[in-house]
Structure 1
Amino acid sequence: MKKLLTLSALVCATVAPAAAIAAEEVNVYSYRQPFLVEPMFNEFTKETGIKVNVKFAKQGIAEQLVREGEYSPADVLLTTDISRLAELVNRGLVQAVNSDVIEANVPAQYQDKENEWFALTLRTRNVYSSRDRVGKLGDDFDYADLAKPEYKGRICTRSGKHPYNISLVSSMIAHQGEAATKTWLEGVKANLARKPQGNDRGQVKAIKEGLCDVSLGNSYYLGKMVNDAEQKAWADAVYINFPNQNSTGTHVNVSGMAMAKYSPNKDNALKLMEFLTDDKAQQLYAEVNFEYPVKEGVKRSELVASWGDFKADTISLGEIADHHEAAIKLLDEVKFDL
């Protein structure tokens, strides 16, 4: 009996520290690049002692979670836009999170009505225009204007089926229906200077090189280009414009988060999610990523503030996500990328 008790004590001594160590970590699957989120994770670990393990990916997180099933180590999922958040929800890969802290920090417009995802940062899908050949576009400029004959051969964009453009098309469906949005897509396609290609920065480069005069792009890319020695000349060649200021407001997309369905470290996952919506992390997002903090009252970076205020579209991101599949269907129907 004495030996048995001794053995039990040894087992407990061995297991308990291991369990404690396991409890002091949280696993993140992220579409966001390491340099964008690591400052937040480092600060979180500094404050809480909880280690953040991160798996970065450009695509395929949903497929990874499906393969791992209930044995997945994932706790928190970070995405770059609403369409990827919607994919995780639609495939049943997340769970609802109830938190008074998150509810207070994230406006209702930027969270799921079932509490299955929450926005972390905001970015506009704006229009860049050549300083030399176009100038600053006025407040009366709308996304709809991109389909007008005057822009024939003057527009550059990345793939229409990139999540950022899918979200814009989804928002237009939400506002004006599929028929009108299809007509608009046909008009924009007819006005393209070249086949959709590259990324948002590549479109600004094309404006600098005279290949086109206007392009679609996310706002934070301007901040990144301004702070890149090679790309600053591209940024200096364009104005940033916020469309639909006299109507629905500029389309706003988000980076966001969700808790994985089988999160093994739920308590730590919740702590991280709450931290990412609070003042310190929101300020880091603003300064490091040149994005708009989702929490109201958090100061924008000096550069972002210099772009001026704008009216944002007030439609809920949940409603935009509802039109995701319809947007893809329309882009296929008009053969936008071909």
Structure 2
Amino acid sequence: MKLVISAVLTALAAAAALPAMAQDKVLNVYSARHYQTDEQMYDAFSKATGIKINRVDADDAGLIARLRAEGAASPADVILMVDAARMAVADAQGLFQPIKSAKLDEAIPSHLRAAATPEGVTWTGFSTRARVIVYDPLRVKAADVANYEQLSDPKLKGLFCTRSGSHPYNLSLFSTVVERLGDEKGEAWLKGMVANMARDPKGGDTDQIKAVASGECGVALTNTYYLARMMKSTKPEDRAVVEKVRVVFPNQGTTGTHVNIAGAAVAKHAKHRDAAIQFMEYLASPSAQEYFANGNNEFAAAKGVKIDNPALKAMGGDKFKAETVPLAVVAKNLTKVQQMLDRAGFK
């Protein structure tokens, strides 16, 4: 009789554990990435691991606000963001937790990750995009925009266009350049760009490319994936824009072209920490890296992964020299550079 009772209790305990086990096969992802091909990447992870992904979408600022409001009650396990500056801000607010992973250490270069501590690394870049210069070949010579520093040269007066200086894409670039040039020369560079503007900063990167093609501007900054999208577009108007502009990967003879990241971190109060780390390691795998490169025209961050994206190759993206200033440096320069931008009148 005791054996029967024991068996029944064991069966009941096992049955009671089933919901908990099923619950552990869940990963809650807060994402600022809104790309259709990411769905295929998530599906591949779920099929391989049996872990279901629940996703909450917002922009980077919205994710940060939500995490702060939720506090320790947050269900978030993994946070996906699309800019190193914003990841650094979230990290500084204590929204991430450090993790240790030999796989990530081996796959992702250290300059594309947060600074390592004895506890581990808080955030990791999984894809990159280059901040390049597009120009009108009828008005500007490639040699005149070979380096970021030349954007402040008076010969480009009335020709330069960009989106807001405070936008994270620009803020990350400016913070990195200031790190190289030093504060005095860096601020002078920002003032020189303001003096060269064809109009006040406005719009997004695609708008800058179109402005160069239309003749409103002669030179502009853009992330590579915006240009790649237009190159792959079947719309005649996009093709017409692409035919009128040229692209330069700046600083190839010196420090290399600035690259920014889309990255991920394990949330401070993650309830499924092991699954979160497993997902992070998956993002560094060759198959996931191919989704980044081919799906959203980004560059792979993992070592040894080659891109096979016709648009990126056509613009020279398969062989450019990338800058290796640690993106963690961006964090300590953000406030200082924003103050420089204000003094320079860079809107």
1:117 aligns with 2:117: no
1:247 aligns with 2:254: yes
Separation in structure 1 between the aligned mates of residue 144 and residue 216 of structure 2, nearest angstrom: 25
Contact 1:139 1:244 in 2 (8 A): no
Q: Give the C-alpha shift of residue 95 in structure 1.
A: 0.5
Separation in structure 1 between the aligned mates of residue 16 and residue 143 of structure 2, nearest angstrom: 66
Unaligned 5+ segments in structure 1 are none
Shift of the 34–313 alpha-carbon distance from structure 1 to 2, 3 Å rule, reads closer
1:88-99 matched pairs, under 5 angstroms = 88-99=90-101
Structure 2 partner of 1:202: 207
Greater displacement, 59-68 / 163-172: 59-68
Off by >3 Å, runs of 4+ in structure 1: 4-15
Provide Cα deviations, 1:178-215, integer angstroms capped at 9, x if missing partner.
22111111111111111101100010111121110110
2:331 to 321, 328, 335: 321
Q: How many residues were matched structurally?
A: 334
Q: Give the C-alpha shift of residue 140 in structure 1.
A: 7.4
1:256 aligns with 2:263: yes
Could you tell me the TM-score, scaled by structure 1's length?
0.93
Separation in structure 2 between the aligned mates of residue 320 and residue 194 of structure 1, nearest angstrom: 27
2:62 to 42, 60, 65: 60
Separation in structure 2 between the aligned mates of residue 243 and residue 201 of structure 1, nearest angstrom: 19
Separation in structure 2 between the aligned mates of residue 120 and residue 70 of structure 1, nearest angstrom: 26
Q: Give the C-alpha shift of residue 42 in structure 1.
A: 1.3
Structure 1 partner of 2:303: 296
Separation in structure 2 between the aligned mates of residue 62 and residue 36 of structure 1, nearest angstrom: 24
Contact 2:130 2:257 in 1 (8 A): yes
Contact 1:140 1:244 in 2 (8 A): no
Structure 1 partner of 2:344: 334
Q: Give the C-alpha shift of residue 113 in structure 1.
A: 2.2
1:1-338 matched pairs, under 5 angstroms = 12=13, 15-58=16-59, 59-114=61-116, 115-134=121-140, 137-138=142-143, 141-230=146-235, 231-300=238-307, 301-308=309-316, 309-337=319-347
Contact 1:139 1:245 in 2 (8 A): no
Equivalent residue letter for 1:304 = L
Q: Give the C-alpha shift of residue 17 in structure 1.
A: 2.2
Separation in structure 2 between the aligned mates of residue 287 and residue 87 of structure 1, nearest angstrom: 29
Equivalent residue letter for 2:179 = A
Separation in structure 1 between the aligned mates of residue 139 and residue 144 of structure 2, nearest angstrom: 18
Contact 1:34 1:56 in 2 (8 A): no
Shift of the 11–190 alpha-carbon distance from structure 1 to 2, 3 Å rule, reads farther
Equivalent residue letter for 2:243 = D
Q: Give the C-alpha shift of residue 98 in structure 1.
A: 0.4
Could you tell me the TM-score, scaled by structure 2's length?
0.91
